[in-house]
Structure 1
Amino acid sequence: MREAERLRIVALVHHPLALETGLNEELRALLRQSERAALTATRHVIVTSTMTAAELTENFSVPPHKITVAVPGTARPSERRKVDNDILQILSVGSLTRRKGHDILIAALAMVLDLPWQTTIIGNPRLDCAIADALAEQIKELKLSDRVTLAGESDDLASAYEKADIFALASRYEGYGMVFAEALSYGLPIIACKAGAVPDVVPSDAGILVPVDDVDATASALRSLLSDPQARVRRSEAATRAGKLLPGWADTSQIISQTLKALA
């Protein structure tokens, strides 16, 4: 703070820590106070979504003129390989933490066991081992072990997206939601929650957005896409159109570069 006037400090904010899922109110208040103080010391703040920009202005005392939105870039696949799965493949990508809502998705999947599907959940299990263990136990208790795979981390997400028919992730909050943008670029119909910046990323014609922590609504969305091929096709086509409009990393880099040059 003592050096704030001398230095040109620029912050990059993707997700304020005070908005993390599962915090008690004391810790949430402490983080909000700390982050507000840190952001006050900056010359400028770069954020990854318009939603985060609004959040910082409303709850962290950052004036709009100090904020630049630089949406993360999305690497476009050269051309999506046509898949013809005998059993529909549902893909979920996200670290095994409480915020990602894998427990809600798993519970919802248990409600559509009468339909044919397989689900692969890709994500780092080491960030919260207790949550990872709880998810594995939930799958076992719901007798989903032959239908749901916790695949751990992967260096080949492109192949996973290519092989999928549906993308589903029940995040309780997202500062942007890069995996949703990636799913759009691969033309996947999406099931997600009306949480954080997700509605800004996923168009209503490309995905079904449900309330946070609503197992019944998530199951209903799954049933809708699993049982209606035409609905999948319509949303897939909409996802493909939206994916083509997403910025690339060169676009994001240019926005950040121009912002930093203006401050120099």
Structure 2
Amino acid sequence: MGSRNRTESSNYRNPCLTMHQPWASLLVYGIKRIEGRSWPSPITGRLWIHAAGKVPEPETIKAMEDFYREIYAMDGVTDVKFPEHYPVSRLLGCVEVVGCVTCDELVSWEAINAGVRVEGQTAFCWLCERPQKLVVPFEMRGYQGVYNLERKIYESAVRGLMTVKPPLRVKFPLPDPRDPYSLKPGLLASSSNESSVSQLKKPPSLVEAIAGARAAATQFSKNNGSQPKKRNSTDGSIMGVSTITRSREWVPKVHNASERSNAKNLY
């Protein structure tokens, strides 16, 4: 059931998400498997990834790379090849969003790798597979929330994709094997008992890496003027501010051509 580009809403034709670096490249390179938000994913299927205009600090890059080294080490992967560059204001590639679960569901999901379970640190975890990157990332503007790529940009981008080989390929099990997009918040809750949630052992190096990654992410929630004054308690965690975050009640809006021309560009 469903096609590669199937989405939850017909309003999303070629959905795209603008993210800060280094999170954007880490996702497109398949290193990052979970995109964390304080709101559930409005789509399933292909999601294009655009890098915001802020140049990441070297300390931020180091903190996130250290974090991923530690969580991959939990699964026995010690050679993680990170991107050589983290370009900004560029369309980078795409991933396949196969579903969305809550953080509690992810942590207790024993069918997936331990590192992936640690990676999710926000209220909602978007599950990403099959990363593809553009051979030549090209410049474009980004917008808040999930928005549609312009047709001309999409037509150019789709011809320039190449498959990425992640450090550790992850396949998220589906509750309904007949439906490739059956992972939704709450569907795994019946099979997970809070009293029996596995307590993953975290070595001191991982605890330190998590703290460093959280500090790196929090800079955006503190410094970005478009952030809501009242933030959900999960915002400011490792994954929650990799782009402009929203409150849990916020519903993403699609920007059509007229809305885009009048919208304040973020970057």
Q: Could you state the TM-score of these two structures normalised by the residue count of structure 2? A: 0.23
The structure in which a higher percent of residues are strand is: 2
Higher relative contact order (CA 8 A, sep 6+): 2
**Rg larger in structure:** 1
The structure in which a higher percent of residues are helix is: 1
